[in-house]
A and B are shown apart, each in its own frame.
Chain A
């Protein structure tokens, strides 16, 4: 069965600092990988996704993520964090079967200090 681990429950960074959120997955084949962001009281918004090809993927809001098969990781990065990036971030892995379903991690809450 597929699974996702986000080891950091809560992260605090200063505005302008760089950010890396960790995500490790378990899946038997090449996975579909996603990062979503959830602002308070809102639904989840897709930041970026990886299916195949270039292992460094660019997303919205200046985020990027790198797929590392050898480490089963898909870490999210941003060079310079803005106060508006404060939110909860979810990593997800998708199956490649006929009824593709996403399995989500438990999320990482990002706090940004001004």
Chain B
């Protein structure tokens, strides 16, 4: 039972480079999320998806893109990396029901440094 798997765990990018953060879940959860965590700022929602083929912006989407071609995968793409994107990125998933009752399952995070 792997839960939510994120790769890579660490990455250093140069300014202007691009990369994709991978996220896979094996719980058949319909909802998936990307958050970034900065010291003293809590977690900020970047993008989320309510199912395959459906994505929407969160609070801080600029500089990022996502896709959701399958239920399991929700990659986050950084184009033209900037120092402001230095952060720890967390992927999460949840199973939504008509009566609520959900809680997120988080991955272990990707620590990204842009230099």
Contacts and interface: CB of A to CB of B under 8 A. Distances in A.
Contacts, number: 62
Interface in A20-72: 32, 34, 36, 41-46, 49, 51
B34 to A, nearest CB: 11
Interface residues of B, number: 27
Contact of A104 (B40, B42, B101, B109): B42
A28 to B, nearest CB: 16
Contacts of A41: 108-109
A102 B96 CA distance: 12
Contact of B104 (A46, A51, A106): A46
Contacts of A107: 40, 42
A15 to B, nearest CB: 26
B108 A42 contact: yes
A104 B104 contact: no
Interface string A65-103: 000000000000000000000000010001010111111
A100 B90 contact: no
Interface residues of A, number: 26
Contact of A43 (B33, B42, B56, B107): B107
B103 A46 contact: yes
A99 B50 contact: yes
B80 interface: no
Contact of B106 (A44, A98, A106): A44
B40 A100 contact: no
Contacts of A43: 4, 90, 106-109
Contacts of A44: 43, 90, 92, 104, 106
Q: Which 3 A-B pairs have the closest CB atoms?
A: A43-B106, A106-B42, A104-B43
